[in-house]
Structures are given as structure tokens and as C-alpha cells.
Amino acid sequence: MSDFKDLTVFTRIKDRNIIRVAAFGSSNTQRYQPGMHWFDYVELGFKNSFGGGCGQFINSGISGNTTRDLLNRFEQELAIFKPHLVIMTIGGNDANPERNITPEKFRDNLLELERKISDLGAQIIFQTYYACDLENIDHQYAVSLIKYMQIIREVAEQTGHLLMDHFARWEKLRRANSAIYRLLMKNPMHVNSSGNMVMGLDLARNLGLTINEVEECCREGLFVQALLDQLEKA
């Protein structure tokens, strides 16, 4: 699949069926700070575009999780909801050398998660992390993180699911203007509310969703989104 707009959730909506969209991941997915979360922009975009009753949006993120944890809680915290679309963002904790999850095991776990989600009849959007502040984390961890993000890209391509590659997009900004980049970060491994806004706006745009009054409410996010677009063209 090459286009976000080809997702079967849009066919379900067209046929007047409810959709269930789940966010599955770690602290990048869990709600733990005030402000709009990136998944809120996805929900808002669907409901602004197709009506408040178009679907259910389930956040199943837990801070500190690895792919091993996602597999362990799969039945009770994802499968139980019978999602039609899963946005999966995982890998930052797997990449931590202290967690002892090898690149090969990470790939195997991702493939097993893909199989289990596909068996539910759901589609997947694999997400890389936003670019983490690599100069301000342990060097070995930083090198590992880059490798694990590449594995996510490869698994998405291998399985034919969509990829939202925030890491590659944000890395250009991090290298070009670290001051602006750090305005989006709560700490070296996590975005703040502004970073969540940029992620959410990018996802909503790729999905072809409309967010009402976006120009009035999301000026800073739209500015950064436009800057990221320019850096991608450079």
C-alpha cells in the first residue's frame, strides 16, 4: 500500500460503518502531559471530516514498553477492541542497550506484531519516532536508535503496510536548526505539546483529514510543518 487514503477505514466510513482506530506503543503514545496529543489530531481530523459518530479512537500506549511488552499485552489491550487500523509507534526502548533486545529480536517481534494485527483484519501505520536529541543521550543508545528506526522502515516495506517516517523528516530540522528542533522537545527522548502538534498535523494531512479552525489554533505547528516541507525539498 502506498497511499494513506487507500486505507479500508475510508471504505468503511463511506459504507456508513463505524471505524475503530487504535494507537499502540510506549511513552510516545501514552498520555502523560497536558495539551493535545498527536493521536488527538487524528481523532479530531476524522470527526471533523466525517462526523462525530464516525468511530472510536483508543489509546493503548504505556510508557517504557518494548515490542516484547506489546506482544505480552496484545490480547487484553489491543485485540479486545477489534481495531480496523492500528498506528504503532515502538522501538525507542527496544533500542536501549540496557533492555537487551537485539536488532534481530526487534525485527522478529515487529513481524510477529504485524502478523497478529493482520490476523485481526486490521491495517497498520508503522511510525518511527520523531528525531531524538542524539547528542544528549548515550552514544551507544543513539547509534542503536538509528538502527532500530531503519528496521521499522524495512518491516513496513516488507509487509506492505504504511510508514510515517517522522524520524527522517525531523532529523533534517534537528541538523539544520537545533534551536527550533528543541522547542518541540520535552526532553531528549520525548516531544512536548508543540511536537505532538506537528506529528498530529502531519498524520492528519497524510490521511487527507480536515481539522476545523486549524489556522487559528495550530499556527506554531503549521509553521514547523511548512519548515519541514522546505527542508525535505532542499
Residue 213 belongs to domain with CATH number: 3.40.50.1110
* pLDDT computed for residue 191 by the predictor: 97
Cβ–Cβ under 8 Å, residues 23 and 58? yes
Residues pairing with 22 in the sheet? 58, 86
Range of the domain at 118: 4-233
Joined grid coordinates for residue 174: 534537528
Q: What is the pLDDT of residues 132-186, one digit of tens each?
A: 999 999 999 999 999 999 999 999 999 999 999 999 999 999 999 999 999 999 9
The sheet carrying 123-127 orders its strands as 55-61, 19-25, 85-89, 123-127, 162-164
* pLDDT computed for residue 187 by the predictor: 96
Cβ-in-10-Å burial (0-12, 13-18, 19+) of 16 comes to exposed
Q: How many CB atoms lie within 10 A of CB 214?
A: 18
Q: Binning pLDDT at 50, 70 and 90, where does residue 234 land?
A: confident
Q: What is the pLDDT of residues 91-112, one digit of tens each?
A: 999 999 999 999 999 999 999 9
Distance between CA atoms of 34 and 52, rounded to whole angstroms?
A: 23
* pLDDT computed for residue 1 by the predictor: 52
**What is the mean predicted confidence (pLDDT) over 194-213?**
96
Q: How many domains does the chain have?
A: 1
